[in-house]
Amino acid sequence: MLKPVKIVLSLLPYSIILEKASKIYIAGHRGMVGSAILRKLQKEGYSNLILRTSSELDLRNQQAVTDFFAIEKPEYVFLAAAKVGGILANNMYKADFLYENLAIQMNVIHQAYVNGVKKLMFLGSSCIYPKLAPQPLKEEYLLTGLLEPTNEPYAIAKIAGIKMCEAYREQYGCNFISVMPTNLYGYNDNYHPQNSHVLPALIRKFHEAKINFSSEVIILGTGSPKREFLFSDDLANACFFLMQNYDEAGFINIGTGHDITIKELALLIQKVVGFEGELVFDTSQPDGTPRKLMDVSKLNSKGWKYQVELEQGIRLVYEDFKNNYA
């Protein structure tokens, strides 16, 4: 049971400057998102970085997280650690996705408050929005309709993280902000045949079909849903920018503002990989949400916009896949 804590209200917003000597904790630094944030901070000259692998620090363990924060006392936190996966994984491991993400968020956010962290950034996901929300997705559409059933547990956990940051901000004056990235891809992605997201899953499928001289590649679903994709290093640049320039209570979308159909994505990856066979769509498999295009006007108005175009990014990650995973 958590002990009662003293309520201390402070004035918001804060003026944040990340000094080069600032003590910064990146939760989930070996994942695709966390590793991109790590590369960005190192590129910018930050070296006082606190890093722990999941085997060194189990963020689901309340006592372990309590002890870690009490000893390390980070000044800033990027909360990029999460249990993630595609439609198949979300459907198979609903309890795991709900429990593990809630536990990670609860432990890290609360200990950031207890130990006086100057600023925390919580990274969510575009799946928080209702399945049939108007497009593009504006921040105010949160909780205005039913969620997509295939990723509801993950979405509920991420919504809880947003609300937790807002509650600690309102009750205790914590400078905790939330950002909602669109669909991501990049270095250190997950290429597991069952548990990966659509873009890395297709890269693996087309690559294996090419080297095995297969005549076709099977795509799950109809190919009609539309998705937006952001390169993970672009996300890291946005997170670094927002950590210093965004202090509002509400969360903010991070994306490109452009989307394509899954069929168009498959054709683009087929072109990059060089597979010359046929595409077969397995319409017995679920499509998921029909469309998830982020409204990024709020982000753009702050002065940030993405840089890496989709085909360029796919070529970069395909080379990474061949060198490190194939």
Q: Which residues are annotated as a binding site for NADP(+)?
A: 28-34, 123-126, 158, 181-184, 197
Which active-site residues does the annotation give? 154
Closest by CA position to 183, among listed 114, 262, 120: 262
For residue 243, give the amino acid letter.
M
Structure tokens at 62: 């309340």
Nearest-angstrom CA–CA distance, 146 and 78: 29
CA angle in degrees (0–180, nearest 5) for 145-251-119: 145
Nearest-angstrom CA–CA distance, 245 and 15: 8
Closest by CA position to 28, among listed 188, 169, 155, 167: 188
> In DSSP terms, which residues pair with 220 in a beta bridge?
282
Strand, coil or helix: what is 125?
A: coil
Structure tokens at 292: 């998830």
Nearest-angstrom CA–CA distance, 220 and 206: 13
First vs last Cα of the chain: how many Å apart? Answer: 47
Residue 321 neighbours by CB distance under 10 Å: 19
Annotated binding-site residue numbers? 28-34, 123-126, 158, 181-184, 197, 205, 227, 287
Strand, coil or helix: what is 121?
A: strand
Asked if residue 66 lies in contact with residue 263, where contact means CB atoms within 8 angstroms, the answer is no
Nearest-angstrom CA–CA distance, 95 and 98: 5
Annotated binding-site residue numbers for substrate? 205, 227, 287
* Residues making up the chain, counted from first to last: 326
